[in-house]
Amino acid sequence: MSGLKRPFPLAVAQLGPISLADSRAAVVKRLIALLREAHARGAKFVVFPELALTTFFPRYWMSEEEAVERFFERSMPGPETKPLFDLAAEFKIGFYLGYAELTPDGRRFNTAIMTDENAKIVGRYRKIHLPGHSHHIETAPFQHLEKKFFDVGNEGFNVWTTQGVRMGMCICNDRRWAETYRVMALQSAEIVVLGYNTPSVNIHWPEAPHLRMSSHLISMQGNAYGNALWVAAAAKCGSEDGFHMIGGSAIVSPTGEITALAQTEADELIFANIDLAIGETFREHVFNFAKHRRPEHYGLIVERTGAGAPLGKKPD
């Protein structure tokens, strides 16, 4: 008799580099190979990376029009991605897929969708925390132009129930912000799934490369623990036309422990038959929000955007 009380077989499909020269069709073939491996492992859900269909194009200066032309999807699924949806439906596997979304009325989002076991889209998330800048930084070895190419997500952080699991989504930089997880945990999320593209080099100050990996992992470990969540994160990584991004795809437990971690910077599937009952235990005791939280003292979190003056309450 397995010790797992509420098992859910979960896979994270890490992608190695995608070059500017790679077609969407070639990338979808790689996604399908990873989906087949997930199926062989018995997974019920697979997490693919952020902007999983193309190279991480926000590193390049170009006009919004050129970016839209070359890197955005007008429909999901589209002709190139339909084979992935069809095979997922055959395998009865749900998935998270990140891509650049062009809406019919011309808005641009860094988006992820979640499908159920019949490849029906049940959730959509548009990235809220857009890092980087919108102007050209002459001195930088590459750009990080998410604020130029994408609008801020307009649909908030949501949680959907799929295959009996309450699952939320976020994207990349969102994983560094405590609010991301708390808003979903307050909607009773059990798992947060996300994709990311994280450059190894910091263009703003000479940050030691190892810190890119540690901040990536502690952001998820700390917030998984603090919100009694499973967190599953899929990297697109390795050197894309000479621009390196970290790997470190991981499945993180509500205990804060890393349950599975990628070993390479290439296409690689990691897998864990996670026990959702672990989160239930932490939500019952340590992080029983209803019992222990005191929102009357948290006002600044939503009243202020940037840091301001201390409240300086005088003892009466």
Instruction: List interacting residues with ligand ING (CB under 6 A).
Output: 131, 172-173, 176, 196-198
Residues 139 and 143: their CA atoms lie apart, in Å, by 10
Identify the three-state secondary structure at position 20.
coil
β-pair partners for 125: 112
Question: Which is the catalytic residue, given 44, 101, 127, 237?
Answer: 127
Beta-carbon contacts of 29 under 8 Å, excluding residues fewer than 6 positions away, are none
Question: Which is the catalytic residue, given 44, 50, 237, 240?
Answer: 50
Indicate the residue among 39 and 176 with the shorter CB distance to ligand ING.
176
Q: Are residues 240 and 17 in contact, defined by beta-carbon separation less than 8 angstroms? A: yes
Query: Pairing relation of β-strands 108-115 and 94-102?
Result: antiparallel
Indicate the residue among 127 and 283 with the shorter CB distance to ligand ING.
127
Residues 71 and 16: their CA atoms lie apart, in Å, by 18
Smallest distance from ligand ING to CB 144, Å: 6
Indicate the residue among 75 and 134 with the shorter CB distance to ligand ING.
134
Indicate the residue among 165 and 194 with the shorter CB distance to ligand ING.
194
Indicate the residue among 173 and 253 with the shorter CB distance to ligand ING.
173
CA distances in angstroms from 139 to 136, 142, 203, 204, listed in the order given: 9, 9, 9, 10
Angle between helical axes of 24-41 and 82-91 (0-180°, round to 10): 10
Smallest distance from ligand ING to CB 203, Å: 10
Question: Which is the catalytic residue, given 44, 146, 170, 172?
Answer: 172
Smallest distance from ligand ING to CB 82, Å: 26
Q: Are residues 271 and 38 in contact, defined by beta-carbon separation less than 8 angstroms? A: yes
- Mark whether 237 is an active-site residue: no
Smallest distance from ligand ING to CB 31, Å: 19
DSSP label of 253: -
Helix runs in the chain, H state only? 24-41, 64-71, 82-91, 146-149, 178-185, 210-226, 277-284, 289-292, 300-303
Smallest distance from ligand ING to CB 112, Å: 12
Dump strand ranges (E) for 164-254.
Answer: 165-171, 191-196, 230-235, 238-240, 243-245, 250-252
| Matching residue, tokens 């939280």 | 293
Indicate the residue among 31 and 246 with the shorter CB distance to ligand ING.
246
Surface-to-core class of residue 284, CB atoms within 10 Å of its CB (0-12 exposed, 13-18 middle, 19+ buried): exposed
Residues 113 and 97: their CA atoms lie apart, in Å, by 6
Catalytic residues: 50, 127, 172
